[in-house]
Amino acid sequence: MVLTVTGPGRYIALEGAEACGKSTHAVLLANELGAVLTRETGGTRIGAAIRQILHDTDNHELSDHAEVLLIAADRAQHLAEVIRPSLAQGRHVVSDRSAYSSLAYQGYGRGVPIEVVRSTSDWALDGTWPELVLLIDVPPEILAQRMSVRELDRFEQADAAFHDRVRAGFATMAAADPQHWLVVDGTGSMDEVAATIRSTVRERLGI
Ligand code: TMP
């Protein structure tokens, strides 16, 4: 895996299943650090248009290959407009999801060969992968409860086996690379989880 340190600005990603709380914690962490808060997909105007295609439940015929490439296009635009300029200015970047979501969802979940997803993402990112990945882990039963009260998008409508593979994929990546990943227990209170995230970032990155 390519992990690039580009300067004083650090690139941190929050990952996990839908409804795990990562968006809330991305906001809290970015506020704490005075970082640029962003997200994949949809972190740019063009990315938002791509995200609509990806999430639209009418687009059931979208092929797995097209999905990988649309997400890679979002990612390349995000690198050019948000990630690279922010890091170049010495700003920290906190992103709600990253290329690791593609490895989990399109690779482990959809079954697109991991190396294809990795190399496509790497090309889109020009080698700029997050330095620290915080995986917010919440048991499927709790996630199912949270999801039962919302309208599901195209990804969320995928069957339970898909979501199990995604979860296992995240766990596999985190276990294989403990230097860059940290699994955070997402079942605690919002304050507890935020404190764990904050102290991990301080410990790992010194910020
Ligand atoms: P979220 O931003 O609300 O979590 O939803 C984003 C959805 O997009 C989520 O279901 C995961 C999916 N996704 C992928 O499948 N691959 C990716 O690379 C990214 C960034 C997101």
Summarize pLDDT for 99-149 with one digit per residue, the tens: 999 999 999 999 999 999 999 999 999 999 999 999 999 999 999 999 999
Where residue 18 sits, what CATH number does that domain have?
Answer: 3.40.50.300
Q: Per the domain annotation, does 198 fall within a domain? A: yes
Residues counted in the chain = 207
Q: Is ligand 1 within 6 A of the CB of residue 53?
A: no
3 inside domain: no
In this prediction, residue 48 carries a pLDDT of 98
Tokens of 145: 């409860």
The answer on pLDDT for 16 being more than 70 is: yes
- 5 within domain boundaries: no
Burial of 157-181, coded b for 16+ CB within 10 Å and e otherwise, reads: ebeeebbebbbebbbebbeeeeebb
* Cβ(120) – ligand 1 distance below 6 Å: no
CA–CA separation, 78 vs 39, rounded Å? 9
With respect to residue 26, please indicate whether it lies within any of the assigned structural domains: yes
Nearest atom (ligand 1) to Cα of 40: 20
H helix runs in the chain, sequence order: 22-33, 45-55, 64-78, 84-88, 99-102, 114-125, 140-147, 160-176, 190-205
163 in any annotated domain: yes
Between CA 61 and CA 153, with CA 69 as vertex, the angle to 5 degrees is 50
40 C-alpha vs ligand 1 centroid, how far in Å? Answer: 7
- Is residue 148 assigned to a domain? yes
Q: Residue 168: its pLDDT value, please?
A: 98
Residue nearest atom 15 of ligand 1, based on CA coordinates = 105
Quick one: which atom of ligand 1 is closest to the CA of 153?
Answer: 10
Q: Is the CB of 73 under 6 A from ligand 1?
A: no
How far apart CA 100 and CA 118 sit, in angstroms, is 9
Closest CA to 186 of 144, 145, 147, 139: 139
Q: How confident is the model at residue 150 (pLDDT cuts 50, 70, 90)?
A: very high
Ligand 1 near 101 CB (within 6 A): yes
Does residue 38 have a cis bond before it (omega within 30 degrees)? no
Instruction: Answer whether residue 65 is part of any domain.
Output: yes
Band of pLDDT at residue 7, cut at 50, 70 and 90: low
The total of structural domains in the chain comes to: 1
